């Protein structure tokens, strides 16, 4: 179990006049733009005793899939069975909407004790561990070791354990499942058919096993991390996707204490409190995941653009927080499992790549083009979806290319490959993500896929000139 060190002395950056004050006596102290803790309301404190407790042996490991310890005494049967009232947590989320992260974490730890743990990814969510330490309460930390993390992340785990005097409870993927995936599809199949399958084996299933040993968990989700999927997350909720120790819907509570905090304020807090951070952050990484699926972002780019960058995902989630994808949207997730939510056929999404020098291909047109072995002229065709932000961003370059190649002997076309056409495009046209650009040579039936992410006019022109 990961236990915090005492927090009676908080860091030297806090005025010495507070050196003898415990975290529970702090009254509205500010660090950067953060309140360390707000005065707890009487109603919140009264709610701490409202939850039905289930007695069980302390020797039973509460986190599933950790080392098995034989119980020294039989597990006591539940004396009270009480389903979680979703409306209660909706109400609590509204009560805590303006609470500081420290107050929210203090509330979570007080209510769930040893049945709650912090999910730590090895990134700026180390702030959660710092807040937990400041509460002065015992806390647990778990992390998913996918086997594909950066060396810097493993080093950071070790640093965090030593800094806080804790042991992180690591969860690992099932070796047989990983072996089957790699032997069947190779080490980097996610570049071809989306990241969801690999994430499901290496992350989602281990997380599911971990959460089956808990009644609540604490995440580092923020609304500004992924506007497409996280803009409405509450500070506390009944987990919509996973089950907890008691099993069934409503058996797991999910706390998101920094949901309303902006990324810049998290970093102000980390710097002020002299919290260790992953060295990858200094190299341009903001959102950090597995090594093959994470890269630095450029100034001005959103942090999630460094994750699964080869995909057309409008909703970049690996499955750990799939409950963020609302209603029918989850059913519209890209067939390759890459998390792209589309609005097929929506009149609200205008078509793109409009030019008199561009040929719009129908399904019959693209099928006929693909079958020809001897074409009168070569073709360059983009497979696109008008709602895809990456397609939208290359529209200007592609239209300019079409204008430049007018009367050059190279035809420039477009084929809308989302919705009902997607399965065909994936099977017959090498569609992996949007946009996919294909060159159909004059004397070959098999198209050649453009694999670079550079979609400027010069790069596309070089591709055409090298093949025509």
Where residue 302 falls (left for φ over 0; alpha for ψ -120 to 50; beta otherwise) is: beta
Check if the beta carbon of residue 264 is closer than 8 Å to that of residue 224: no
Q: Is the alpha carbon torsion for 220, 293, 202, 228 positive or negative?
A: positive
DSSP secondary structure string, 273-313? TT----GGGGGT--S--BGGGB----TTS-GGGGBSTTS--
Q: Is the alpha carbon torsion for 273, 163, 101, 219 positive or negative?
A: positive
The strand pairing partners of 13, in sequence order, are: none
User: At a CB cut-off of 8 Å and minimum separation 6, what does 246 contact?
Assistant: 54, 215
| Whole-angstrom distance, CA of residue 24 vs CA of residue 14 | 15
Q: How many residues does the chain have?
A: 468
HEC profile for 254-282?
Answer: EECCCCCCCHHHHHHHHHHCCCCCCHHHH
Q: Which two tokens stand for residue 227?
A: 């506007």
Q: Is the alpha carbon torsion for 374, 376, 379, 383 positive or negative?
A: negative
User: At a CB cut-off of 8 Å and minimum separation 6, what does 67 contact?
Assistant: 61
Rg (C-alpha) for the chain, rounded Å, is 26
Q: Which residues are catalytic?
A: 388, 391
Residue 197's SS3 state is helix
Q: Determine the angle formed by the axes of helices 395-404 and 457-467, rounding to 10 degrees.
A: 50
């Amino acid at each position: 179990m990961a236990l915090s060190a005492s927090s009676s002395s908080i860091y030297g950056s806090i005025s010495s006049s507070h050196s003898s004050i415990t975290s529970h006596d702090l009254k509205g102290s500010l660090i950067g733009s953060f309140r360390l803790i707000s005065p707890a309301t009487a109603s919140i404190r009264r709610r701490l005793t409202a939850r039905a407790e289930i007695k069980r042996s302390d020797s039973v490991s509460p986190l599933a899939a950790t080392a098995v310890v034989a119980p020294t005494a039989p597990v006591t049967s539940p004396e009270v069975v009480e389903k979680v009232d979703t409306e209660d947590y909706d109400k609590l989320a509204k009560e805590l909407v303006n609470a500081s992260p420290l107050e929210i974490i203090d509330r979570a730890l007080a209510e769930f004790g040893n049945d709650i743990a912090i999910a730590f990814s090895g990134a700026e969510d180390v702030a959660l561990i710092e807040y937990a330490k400041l509460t002065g309460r015992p806390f647990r930390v778990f992390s998913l070791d996918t086997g594909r993390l950066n060396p810097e992340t493993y080093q950071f785990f070790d640093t965090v354990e030593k800094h806080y005097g804790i042991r992180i409870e690591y969860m690992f993927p099932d070796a047989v499942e990983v072996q089957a995936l790699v032997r069947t599809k190779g080490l980097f199949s996610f570049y071809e058919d989306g990241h969801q399958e690999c994430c499901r084996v290496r992350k989602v299933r281990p997380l599911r096993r971990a959460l089956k040993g808990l009644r609540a968990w604490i995440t580092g989700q923020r609304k500004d991390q992924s506007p497409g999927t996280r803009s409405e997350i509450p500070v506390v909720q009944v987990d919509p996707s996973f089950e907890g120790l008691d099993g069934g819907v409503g058996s797991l509570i999910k706390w998101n204490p920094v949901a309303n905090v902006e990324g810049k304020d998290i970093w102000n807090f980390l710097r002020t409190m002299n919290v260790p951070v992953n060295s990858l952050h200094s190299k341009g990484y903001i959102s950090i995941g597995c090594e093959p699926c994470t890269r630095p972002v450029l100034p001005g780019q959103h942090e999630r653009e460094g994750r699964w960058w080869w995909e057309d995902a409008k909703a970049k989630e690996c499955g750990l927080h799939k409950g963020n994808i609302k209603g029918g949207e989850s059913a519209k997730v890209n067939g390759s499992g890459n998390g792209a939510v589309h609005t097929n056929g929506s009149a609200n999404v205008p078509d793109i790549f409009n030019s008199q020098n561009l040929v719009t291909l129908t399904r019959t047109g693209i099928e006929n083009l693909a079958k020809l072995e001897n074409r009168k002229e070569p073709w360059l065709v983009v497979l696109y979806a008008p709602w895809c932000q990456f397609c939208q961003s290359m529209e200007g370059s592609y239209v300019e290319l079409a204008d430049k190649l007018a009367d050059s002997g190279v035809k420039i076309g477009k084929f809308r490959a989302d919705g009902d056409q997607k399965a065909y495009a994936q099977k017959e046209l090498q569609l992996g993500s949007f946009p996919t650009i294909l060159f159909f040579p004059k004397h070959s039936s098999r198209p050649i896929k453009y694999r670079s992410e550079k979609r400027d006019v010069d790069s596309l022109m070089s591709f055409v000139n090298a093949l025509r």
